[in-house]
Chains A and B, each alone.
Chain A
Amino acid sequence: MTDSPLIEVEGLRIDLNDRASHVAAVEGVSFRIDRGETFGLVGESGCGKSITALALIGLLRQPLSIGAGVIRFEGREIQRLPAAEQRALRGNRIAMIFQEPMTALNPVSPVGQQIAEMFVLHKGKNWREANQLAVEALASVRVPAPERRVKDYPHQLSGGMRQRVMIAIALACGPDLLIADEPTTALDVTVQAEIIELMRNLCAERGTAILMISHDLGLVANVCRRVAVMYAGRIVEERGSADIFRACSHPYTQGLIDSLPRLGSRAALGRTRLREIAGVVPAIADFPDGCRFNPRCAQATEICRTTAPELTLLDAGGLVRCHHHA
C-alpha cells in the first residue's frame, strides 16, 4: 500500500456525448500524485483541467463521461467502487475547494454548521462534538474570534474569510488529497497570497497532497513540486516546477512563460509589447489533426500537422509531447 501512489491516473479519456457526436474533451491524461506531494495542473480555460478533477472524484455528469483509462486511489479503481464507497471517499479522503467562495457555501445555514456537518457526515460525531470541532477548524484557518464566527452566515463574511471557511470544510476530516480548483481566482491579490500560504502550511502539517488547478503558471510553480501543462485536452509537458521556468521544452509552455510580465523586463516598463500566443484555443469539436497546438505554433512543420506526438521522457527528467522538443 505504502509504495503505491496516492492517486494515479492512466490514459484518462473524457467523452463529451452529444446527440450527434462523441468527441474526447480530454485524452490520454496520465499522472500520479504521491502522499503529501503537491502537483499542479495548468492550462487555459476549457483545456479540460476542471473536468479532469471532477473525474478524479467520480462526479462527471452527462453529457460528460469517462471513455477510457483508469483512476486509482490507493491502488483501488475509483470508477469500480460502489456509489456509497465513492461517497465515503469524497470529503473524507479527497476534498475539494472551489474557485467561487461566494457561491460554494450554502447561503441559508451558518458557516459553523456547514463545517460541523462534515464531522457528522464522515466521522459519526454528534452535533455537540461536531460544533466544538467546527470552532477548532475555524481557528486552524486563522479566522479571528471563531466561536462567534461559527454563527455567521456566508453573506456576513468577506471573500477571503469565505475561502478560509471552504478550506476549513475541505480539511475538516483530514483528507489525503486536496483538489484546489482555481482557489484564489476570485480573490484580491493580497488575500490570494495569504490563502495560498495558509493552504500550503495546513497541508504540509497534515501530510495532505495537493492537486492544484489553475491558469496561473507562476502561482502553481510557486506552490507545487511538479507541474503538468495541459493544452486542448492533453498534457503537453510535465516537469519539476523549478525546471519549468528555467528550461521548458514545449512551445506552448514557452509561450505561457513569455506572456507573463516580469518586474524590470522591457515589457513591464512599457517599452515592448508583452508577448502573446497567437490565435485561440480550438473548440472541442474541431481539434486539429496531429499536434493540437500546431496551428498556433511557430515551430510547426509538416509532421506536426499529420502525426500526434507522443509523450517522451526527457533526459533532464520530465515528459514532453512535441516532435521538436529541445
Chain B
Amino acid sequence: MKFGTSLIIGGALFALAIFVGLLAPWLAHTDPVMDANLMNAEEPPSWTWWFGTDAQGRDIYSRVVHGARISLTVGIVSQLVNSVIGVTLGLTAGYWGGWWDDFVNGLTNLMLAIPSLIFALAIMAVLGSGLTSLLIALGLTNWSFTCRIARASTLSLKNQGYVQAARVLGYGDLRIMITQLLPNMLGPIIVIGTLGMGSAVLAEAALSFLGLGIRPPYPSWGSMLSEAREQITTAPWLSIFPGLAIFLTVLGLNLLGDGLRDILDPQSRSQRA
C-alpha cells in the first residue's frame, strides 16, 4: 500500500465512527431501546428501515448508531488505562532496573502467558456485567505489549546524550522520565495504543456476545450479534450490520495504527512485525 494511504483510509473510518458515536441521538431514527413495535418485527432493510428491524421491531440502524458510543467508549477508555499502566510500569522498570525491573518483567510475562480475553472473562465473572466492569476488565488485561515497548525504549533512550545531560544538569528521576524519556518514546506507544483500541473493540464484542459485557436491551455491537445469532438464516441483516460496524471500526483503527507507524517511526517501514 502506498505511503499514507492506510493513514487516510484508517483515519477516515475512525473519524466516521467517532462522528457517528458523538452525533448518535441526532442520527438515529428512533430510540434504540424503547421504540419496540412488534408490528414491525423482522422487517428486511428498506427505505423506512435502512438496516431492517429486529425481532422486537426495533430499528437496527438506530441501534448500530447508538452502539458506536458503547464500542468506542470501551475501546478508547480501556486502551487509555492500558497505556497508562503499561507506560508507567515499563518506564520505571527500564529506568530504575534492579528488583523492580525483575518484578515488572515477571508480571508482564505472566500477563502474556494468560490469553487476555480469558483473563478479562474471569474479571467480568467476578465484577458482573456492565459498562464499568467491562472497562475495568479490558483496561487491566492488555497493557503488557505497551509495557514491553516502553521498557525497551527506556533502555535505549536512557543512554542517550541528552538524558545523561539532564542528569548532569540536576534533573530528578521523575523529571527525566516525564520531560526526556516519555516524549521520545511516544511514537511507538501511540501506534500500539491505536492497534490496542481495535482489539479492545473486538474484545468488547466478544465479551458481550458471550453475555458478559453489555446486557440487552442496551445496544452494543457485540450484544446485538449475540441476540441475532438464532435468526442468522432467517434475518441475516440482524448480524450483518453490527458485524460490519465492528469490522470497519477495527479495520480503521488497524490501518490508522499502521499509517501512524510509518509516519512516526521511519525505520519500521523496512522491518514490519
Interface of A toward B, CB cutoff 8 Å: 57, 59, 87-92, 95-96, 98, 100, 102-109, 117-118, 121-122, 166, 169-170
A106 touches B184 (CB 8 A): yes
A122 touches B170 (CB 8 A): yes
Using Cβ atoms and an 8 Å threshold, which residues of chain A touch B179?
106, 109, 117
Closest to A88 in B: B170
- Known contacts: A98-B161, A100-B161, A121-B175. The answer to whether A106 contacts B180 by CB under 8 A is yes
A90 touches B169 (CB 8 A): yes
A121 touches B171 (CB 8 A): yes
A98 touches B170 (CB 8 A): no
In this assembly, does B183 line the interface, its C-beta being within 8 Å of a C-beta of chain A?
yes
Using Cβ atoms and an 8 Å threshold, which residues of chain A touch B162?
103-107
A104 touches B161 (CB 8 A): yes
Nearest-Cβ distance from residue B183 to partner chain A, whole angstroms: 4
Chain B window 157-185, contacts with chain A (Cβ cutoff 8 Å), 1 for yes, 0 for no = 00011101111111110010001100110
Using Cβ atoms and an 8 Å threshold, which residues of chain A touch B160?
103
Return the contact of B183 from the options A59, A98, A108, A166 (Cβ within 8 A).
A108
Using Cβ atoms and an 8 Å threshold, which residues of chain A touch B161?
98, 100, 102-104
A91 touches B168 (CB 8 A): yes
Using Cβ atoms and an 8 Å threshold, which residues of chain A touch B164?
98, 104
Using Cβ atoms and an 8 Å threshold, which residues of chain A touch B165?
96, 98, 104-105, 166
Using Cβ atoms and an 8 Å threshold, which residues of chain B touch A169?
169
Using Cβ atoms and an 8 Å threshold, which residues of chain A touch B180?
106
Using Cβ atoms and an 8 Å threshold, which residues of chain A touch B166?
106
Nearest-Cβ distance from residue A90 to partner chain B, whole angstroms: 4
User: Measured between alpha carbons, how far is A166 from B160 in the docked complex, in Å?
Assistant: 15
Using Cβ atoms and an 8 Å threshold, which residues of chain B touch A109?
179, 183
Using Cβ atoms and an 8 Å threshold, which residues of chain A touch B169?
90-91, 95-96, 118, 121, 169-170
B170 touches A91 (CB 8 A): yes
User: Measured between alpha carbons, how far is A90 from B180 in the docked complex, in Å?
Assistant: 17
Closest to B187 in A: A108
Say what secondary structure dominates the interface of chain B: helix
Nearest-Cβ distance from residue B265 to partner chain A, whole angstroms: 14
CB contact list, B172-207 vs A, under 8 A: 172, 175, 179-180, 183-184, 186
User: Measured between alpha carbons, how far is A49 from B162 in the docked complex, in Å?
Assistant: 20
Which 3 A-B pairs give the minimum distances between C-beta atoms?
A: A103-B161, A91-B170, A91-B169
A121 touches B170 (CB 8 A): yes
Q: List 25 A-B contacts (CB under 8 A).
A: A57-B168, A59-B168, A87-B172, A90-B167, A90-B169, A91-B169, A95-B168, A96-B168, A96-B169, A103-B160, A104-B164, A106-B183, A107-B162, A107-B184, A108-B183, A108-B186, A109-B179, A109-B183, A117-B171, A118-B169, A121-B169, A121-B170, A166-B165, A169-B169, A170-B169
User: Measured between alpha carbons, how far is A109 from B179 in the docked complex, in Å?
Assistant: 8
Nearest-Cβ distance from residue B223 to partner chain A, whole angstroms: 43
Closest to A172 in B: B169
Using Cβ atoms and an 8 Å threshold, which residues of chain B touch A98?
161, 164-165
Nearest-Cβ distance from residue B154 to partner chain A, whole angstroms: 15
Using Cβ atoms and an 8 Å threshold, which residues of chain B touch A89?
170
Using Cβ atoms and an 8 Å threshold, which residues of chain B touch A170?
169
Q: Count chain A CB atoms within 10 A of each CB in B167, B170, B171, B172 and give the residue with the most.
A: B170
Q: Count chain B CB atoms within 10 A of each CB in A57, A92, A104, A122 and give the residue with the most.
A: A104
Using Cβ atoms and an 8 Å threshold, which residues of chain B touch A92?
170
Nearest-Cβ distance from residue A97 to partner chain B, whole angstroms: 9
Nearest-Cβ distance from residue B187 to partner chain A, whole angstroms: 10
Given contacts A87-B170, A90-B169, A106-B184, 11 further A-B contacts (CB under 8 A): A57-B168, A59-B167, A59-B168, A87-B171, A90-B168, A96-B169, A103-B162, A105-B162, A106-B179, A108-B184, A117-B171
Closest to B166 in A: A106
Closest to A100 in B: B161
User: Measured between alpha carbons, how far is A169 from B180 in the docked complex, in Å?
Assistant: 15
Closest to A113 in B: B179
Q: Count chain A CB atoms within 10 A of each CB in B162, B164, B167, B183 and give the residue with the most.
A: B162
Nearest-Cβ distance from residue B263 to partner chain A, whole angstroms: 15
Closest to B171 in A: A121
Nearest-Cβ distance from residue B174 to partner chain A, whole angstroms: 12
Nearest-Cβ distance from residue A175 to partner chain B, whole angstroms: 10
Using Cβ atoms and an 8 Å threshold, which residues of chain B touch A105?
162, 165
Using Cβ atoms and an 8 Å threshold, which residues of chain B touch A88?
170
Q: Count chain B CB atoms within 10 A of each CB in A59, A92, A102, A106 and give the residue with the most.
A: A106
